[in-house]
Amino acid sequence: MTLNKEVNWLVKSNGKILGPFSQLEIFELLKRKEIVVINEVAAPFRRWQYIRDLDEFAEIVEELRVLEFGSNEDHTMTTSSADQTASVTEKISTSVIDDLTDNVNPYRTDEIVIDDVKEILSTKKPPSVSKSQYQSPIKNNYIQQESDRLSRSIWIITICIVLSVSGYVTFHRLNKKHNTTNMTAEEFKEKALEHYYAGDYEKALPILRTAYNLDKHDSDIKSLIAPLMALLEPEKNSEVLKMVDDLVSSQTKNKERLLTLKALIQTKERNYVEAQKNLKLALSNNPFFWQAFSNLGVIDFWAGEYLTAKNYFETAISVETSDQTSRGEVYLMKVVSEIFLAEKEKNNKYLNDAKSELDSYLAEYQDYRQEAYLLQSYINFKLRDSRSARSSIVRMVNTDPMLTREHAKDPVVDRSPIAWNQLLPWCEDVVKELSTAAQAQTMHAICLIQNKGRDIDAKNEIANAISKDPKDPLTQSIFAFIHWALGDQSKAEMVASQAIELNQSKLLTLPHVIKARICEDIENYECAVENWLTVKALNPQLVSSYGGLAFDYLKLKKFTLFEISLVEGLKLSPFYKPLLRAQVLADQEGLNVDKK
């Protein structure tokens, strides 16, 4: 790293202007944590800017990342009694909770005076009854009658109110049910399309099923429901195949998509020959249908024909079409093919090609980032570049674990070569090489929690990572994420707060991402906004913050800020489901958002 010792810089810190300093001196101040990368600096005759935003300091910031997280990987730390970092088995003391929460009662208990009841009774004399205070039995009876009459009146009024409210609610429900019953199949289809185009297939499917039951001859409804049934209800594939055959024989519209869907089901049933025939039929109908090229690549991949698979994936990427769906999975499947090809041909050229392609992909796309960093670390280890591999691990762990699943996917595309259960063995190979590193085990915990049915294994693995380095903010963040994924919100919130406290370098986004998601779950939208804004300041290119801010601003009725977040986020990733959902909610609110 080459640092300029000639140019002097002024530094703003804690309301003071310090300096002038050279780049080398600023680097030393950052290492000693006397300043941080979000302090402002200015060279002579230049405006003030954040350290992290200046090209002159980009190399310094990257070096700090490596120093910050590389130095903790080869030593073991234990938790002392004064340590407030949560582990899996550690019982959190009440002092930790007191540090994290404000006092509920503004009064101290030692300031509350409790009188001795016996003392009060002994000092008070019974009051004497004068003649003027004496009431006759007749007057007492009258008061009692008036009291009873008033009580009956109150009860009658209360019963009337309850009956009125119950009647209104019942009428409202019946009227709503009546209106829903009167909806046509076309209206149900339009309602389902809102969720379909937002990538919420789980919400779209039951509405489409209602539309289908109302009109089983509507080809548009059948074309929409068939791929969702194949995706979400694979046990009904025989019904889907019959539906597809009926559609193919009776219409020409979307035939390439229907044939690709049929081939997808046949591929899952290992009927590869028929699947290939249908995919080639799809391409004869539409030679620009990239989904068919991609699925042909998957068939050759599972047949061990990695070079042919790679070529199909390249074609799927290069095809120009008006179809705006994401192709992130195709890029990664091409990389996976090259990794297998390198092992098969004993040729590292394919690994170097894959590494270069991953660098380009990560510079442009938001989808599949965690998987991409995992593949990057594995390739670097294969190329014996340990430093780059460790750097990739840090980036993989610091990535929002929800990014992939929160991007809309085309339901007719086969993504099986990059499923987490296929990537897990490579993840474990990397961990074996770095068995003493806490962050390598944290990466392994991520690989496990992303695999269905491995929740307990993930929790045990993160416990091992914490025992090695309980003060690592990334490890604590993933610990919080695992608790959140398992439904333990209170534990997740506490650990996420501790991860933020441990993030002293202020370089990591993950602690704030996890905290923001937890705040949204408990409908504390102000808390969520605060954390998403921090994420956005640290990494303006991360789409998660824009999706979170759009949703939270909409809930808070801050419509101008909502629109800004929505438009900026869609420019980064037009397939990010939280943004698409926010757009649907805005339409329901009657807001017109210009997304240009």
For the chain, 596 residues long, the average pLDDT of each consecutive 10-residue run is: 64 78 83 82 77 80 70 44 38 34 37 38 42 45 64 72 66 50 84 89 94 91 94 94 92 88 96 97 94 98 97 94 78 98 95 96 94 96 91 95 94 96 95 82 95 92 93 95 91 94 90 96 95 96 96 94 94 93 82 60
Pseudo-torsion of CA 432, 435, 439, 440, nearest 10°? 0
Q: b/e per residue, 44-69, with b = 16+ CB within 10 A?
A: eeeeeeebbebebbeebbebbbeebb
User: What pLDDT does 329 receive?
Assistant: 95
What kind and span of H or E run contains 391?
Answer: helix 386-397
Asked if 231 contacts 199 with a C-beta cutoff of 8 angstroms, the reply is no
User: What pLDDT does 565 receive?
Assistant: 96
User: CA distances (Å), 102 to each of 96, 106, 503, 580, in order?
Assistant: 12, 10, 21, 37
User: What pLDDT does 394 receive?
Assistant: 94
Cα–Cα distance, 455 to 446 (Å, whole number): 10
User: What pLDDT does 5 receive?
Assistant: 55
Provide the 10 A C-beta neighbour count for residue 501: 15
Provide the token pair at 388: 């780059």
Cα–Cα distance, 569 to 545 (Å, whole number): 8
Cα–Cα distance, 63 to 83 (Å, whole number): 29
Helices 510-521 and 473-485, axial angle in degrees (round to 10): 30
**Where are the strands (E) in 357-516, listed by range?**
none
User: What pLDDT does 290 receive?
Assistant: 96
Q: b/e per residue, 552-576, with b = 16+ CB within 10 A?
A: bbbbeebeeebbbbbbbbbebbbbb
Provide the token pair at 185: 């199949």
User: What pLDDT does 254 receive?
Assistant: 87
CA atoms within 13 A of residue 270's CA, in its CB half-sphere: 2
Q: How far is CA 13 from the centre of its chain?
A: 34
Provide the token pair at 83: 């340590």
Asked if 500 contacts 471 with a C-beta cutoff of 8 angstroms, the reply is no
**Where are the strands (E) in 514-553, listed by range?**
none
